[in-house]
Structure 1
Amino acid sequence: MLPLFIKFNVFNLLFLQILIAISGNYGIFNLNSMVISLIFLDDSIFPSTISSVINYIITNNDQTIGGIMYEATFASIALGIVAITLILSFIPLTQLTRGMVGFSNKLVVPYMYVSKFGLLNYYGLFASMTTSRKEILFQGSTDGQEWHQYEFNWKPGDLDVQPRFIIGHLPRLEWRLWFCQFESFGTTGAWFDSFCDKLLRNEPSVVGMLRKNPFAQGTRPKYLRCLIASYKFSEKNPYRAVLRPREYSKKETQELCQQVDAQGQATIPSDKKYEEGKWWRKGKSFLYYPILSLKDGELVYRVQRLE
């Protein structure tokens, strides 16, 4: 009864992950969940497995001794991996305690050796899902007056470009830029300044990761600015017909109507503040970062108004 219950749950989880993967872009998370769930299935359901090959090599026609060796070998390997993982994972796990739990200095050297591979990290899902999406927009200029926008492969920008579907890969640059909406100047980290520096230099290895480089002809931008704006799906997108438009409840309507203008008429927020495209609707843009430029080969912030 228990094996049947396990199979039922595993296949349900696989089915759920497939549905989630179809409905949205979650990079490698769905694949990770599917691979982990497969370890609960018995090897007998597969026509040919690695374990059967190893079992044949180890047994060497002696089922009794070979079976013991087989079990002992896999048990030792498994226990060794678990022990090493638990020991080296202790350092990143202590970050969750905010300094209340310390760790031995003897663990630092081996941890620093393996940490560069990104194999051992504390991991946690989002406590809550965001209900809005704000994008960081990068624009370059040669005179400080006319600005041209860089376009990315895996994040919104151009309002008329259809969002792309991706699975099995997590675009590192776009992924990190998504988190920038929760940060501000001085908290984004050195990588953000480095990225801006490379854009100002028109570095081929960096601009090559973008879908559109407005300075691809060789002229480098003199100034770079970073804006932040909210993005939503446009009312004009082809799939809008299958989506149910939002209906305000009576309570929400009353709250909206509490704002009264000078003539005593109710003022309800309008979407006219948005810039509408074929696929995206963009809200008002705000300066996210000081305007950047290069001076004597170094990245500098320009807080004054450009002339």
Structure 2
Amino acid sequence: MIAVRYTRNLFLRSLCVVYLTAFLSFYIQIPGLYGDNGVLPASSVLENSKHKTLSAKVHYQPTLLWLAPYLGLDTNCALDVLALLGAFLAFTGFISQKFCTIPLFAGLWSLYFSLFQVGQVFVTNGYDELLLETGFLAIFVAPLLPGRRKGSRDSPSDLITLWLVRWLLFRFLLTTGLTKLMSGCPSWWSLKALSRYFEVMPLPTSLSWYAHHLPEWFLKVTQVFTNVCEIGLPFLFFLPIRSVRITGFFLQAFLQICIALTGNFGFSNVLVMTLLLSLLDDQLFYRRRSSSTWSLVGKMVNVVVHGVLIYWVVQLYSLKLNNGQIDSDIAFTKSQFDMVLSRALTYTIYFGLVSLTTTILSALSAALFDHQGNKLLATLSTIFYAAIACLIFSSSTVPLASLHSASNSTVNPMVRSAYNRLHKLHAVNQYGLFNKMPGVSGRSEIVFEGAKEADGPWQEINFLFKPGNVNSTLPQVAPHAPQLDWQMYWAAYSTYDQQPWLLSFAHRILSYTPEVMTLIDFRESPFRHSPPKYLRAVLYNYQYTPWSKRNQNGWWTRQKVSEYMPVFSEDSQFLNDYLKARNLLPTLSKDKVNPVWRRILITIRFLMIHLEATLLHWSVITAGLAFICTSTRPPLQYKR
């Protein structure tokens, strides 16, 4: 049987790191986003429930926050407790493998799901759903207890549970790649998307400016590589040849590292790399005797497989070497792509079914013949996990089939019903990010301006992580996920009256709400001592400065497009009526809080608020790594 115990353990501990960053990021932003004085108070979500009993409330909005009154907490304090408890559990799993058990991951998933339920518009980027689905699978990947069954030796069911992780990775990458071409966006079809991508992505980094100025032919080839990594390479994840999977791991990891360096996507890139660990096995980490003949054959097959892949890439993208450059162009039409897709999605589902069946049979064979422990228990466990895998796999075919009407019409109603139930828990989700490249030229940015008088002068209010001041470079903020800055990007492609949170944010600035002011660059704000009496928003078009003028004109050039939001004051009738109708005006919590709880939570937040968000994340991760390095014993030889 293929040894995957170490790979499984590495996956679980890496997922703990992702959970840790996610909980910390949520905790940092709770007062400004979800507190009673925040932009979208969580209490307003819970107050919408008309139900009386606890069970009815949980059915209406499944979250642990309903337990707050029973623990002597209000919603604000309960949010802090859930986030801190989640960070603590994730940290324990990160520093010690013995804590990586089913109870731990069930707790982590429940805590993050509870926070997700009140996240509203700030958790709609897709990555939170990917974390929830990965965390749900981790419950089945993890051992029940430390040092028992799966914790002490390889378990045949590990092959099945890690296959589910691999299938999630496959679905995420394939859907992300296909939706770009399915959208019909001219930028993706002309291979010029990356010529604009680094300029118009939600939160660029300082390296994005340099990536934007790479030669156009190189960016087109890079897009070809990205398309192949998302659409072609994922099919090789399921080949029974380890050298092919390992090659796929390194290619995909390289892509994720490049994305992480040139864009602030929170914990998403680390999460995808955690999923990539399912492609590995223990032989990569431990010295182990293996047949040199089979190893050589595997490497030869690997070369042939990727050679065939490269051949088809050259044909489909018309790759040609021309005067030291590589010319590229999509050689198939949209109608041809649609025709192939209508059939390929069904075949893809059958391909997954065959791979899962083979994996289950291999696991059963290992349980019956190769397992060194209790064979009956191993067989029953394998059958149980096989049944779970079949349920999750069948449900996951629904979002995959829904990509095209031809395959969507073939979905069994019972399978669709199972998907709907699991999707309500975000245990199976639909993905597809950045399918259309926004903006014709440059990026749209909302710039808030405040004034003491109605006729000005108007002074700009900058954010911490999104473009504003044209002379300021943007920081590398990941793995922290600044949800307000991220959502400001999408608001620029809509109108202000369609964004209730945006008007709520404007009201909080006018009333100088301290919790919200910490989410913007208030220390450099002209209104850091007193709030503006009037506020408006202007829409600008931002573009990177040319390479030749970087040292003269800063990082950005911008041009005013139009007024985005009219002038409002704190006592504006429209603004107050709009927020009151949506229960978004600041309120005082009516729930009594245990004074001991309040004192503890205030002390913790006081200690953490003095650390910048990114510094806090890396400080905690570094502390965990230091603990691991000082407590880890020399590795033992891996024996079979």
TM tier, shorter chain?
A: 0.5 to 0.7
Q: Distance in 1 between matches of 2:243 and 2:377?
A: 29
Q: Distance in 1 between matches of 2:512 and 2:422?
A: 36
Taking a change above 3 Å as real, the CA distance of residues 292 and 110 of structure 1, as seen in their structure-2 partners, is farther
Taking a change above 3 Å as real, the CA distance of residues 198 and 94 of structure 1, as seen in their structure-2 partners, is farther
CA shift, 1:32, in A, is 3.3
User: Does residue 122 of the first structure (1) align with residue 430 of the second (2)?
Assistant: yes
User: Does residue 280 of the first structure (1) align with residue 556 of the second (2)?
Assistant: yes
Counterpart residue type for residue 17 of structure 1: Q
Counterpart residue type for residue 126 of structure 1: F
Structure 1 segment 232-247 matched on structure 2, within 5 A: 232-235=543-546, 240=550
Structure 1 segment 1-307 matched on structure 2, within 5 A: 2-46=241-285, 62-79=373-390, 81-82=392-393, 114=425, 121-130=429-438, 131-144=441-454, 145-187=456-498, 189-212=499-522, 213-217=525-529, 219-235=530-546, 240=550, 277-295=553-571, 299=575
RMSD over aligned Cα atoms: 4.1
TM-score (norm 1): 0.64
- Deviations along 1:110-131, whole A, 9 cap, x unmatched? 689746xxx6653212223345
Q: Which has the larger radius of gyration?
A: 1
Counterpart residue type for residue 448 of structure 2: F
Q: Is the 8 A contact 2:442 2:541 kept in 1?
A: yes
CA shift, 1:201, in A, is 0.9
Taking a change above 3 Å as real, the CA distance of residues 39 and 156 of structure 1, as seen in their structure-2 partners, is same
Secondary structure of 1:283's partner? Answer: strand
Q: Which residue of 2 aligns with 1:52?
A: none
Identity %: 26
Structure 2 residues without counterparts, runs of 5 or longer: 1-239, 287-369, 578-640
Q: Is the 8 A contact 2:496 2:502 kept in 1?
A: no
Structure 1 residues without counterparts, runs of 5 or longer: 48-58, 242-275, 302-307
Q: Is the 8 A contact 1:237 1:279 kept in 2?
A: no
> Which structure has greater helix proportion?
2
Q: Distance in 2 between matches of 1:294 and 1:12?
A: 53
CA shift, 1:194, in A, is 1.0
Structure scoring higher RCO (CA < 8 A, sep ≥ 6) equals: 2
- Deviations along 1:243-284, whole A, 9 cap, x unmatched? xxxxxxxxxxxxxxxxxxxxxxxxxxxxxxxxx842221212
Taking a change above 3 Å as real, the CA distance of residues 63 and 300 of structure 1, as seen in their structure-2 partners, is closer
Q: Is the 8 A contact 1:134 1:229 kept in 2?
A: yes
Q: How many aligned residue pairs are there? A: 246
Q: Distance in 2 between matches of 1:137 and 1:96?
A: 39
CA shift, 1:175, in A, is 1.1
Q: Distance in 1 between matches of 2:458 and 2:376?
A: 75
Secondary structure of 2:538's partner? Answer: strand
Secondary structure of 2:261's partner? Answer: helix
Q: Distance in 1 between matches of 2:531 and 2:276?
A: 50
Secondary structure of 1:224's partner? Answer: strand
Q: Distance in 2 between matches of 1:296 and 1:16?
A: 49
CA shift, 1:202, in A, is 0.9
Taking a change above 3 Å as real, the CA distance of residues 154 and 300 of structure 1, as seen in their structure-2 partners, is same
Taking a change above 3 Å as real, the CA distance of residues 297 and 207 of structure 1, as seen in their structure-2 partners, is farther
Taking a change above 3 Å as real, the CA distance of residues 140 and 38 of structure 1, as seen in their structure-2 partners, is same
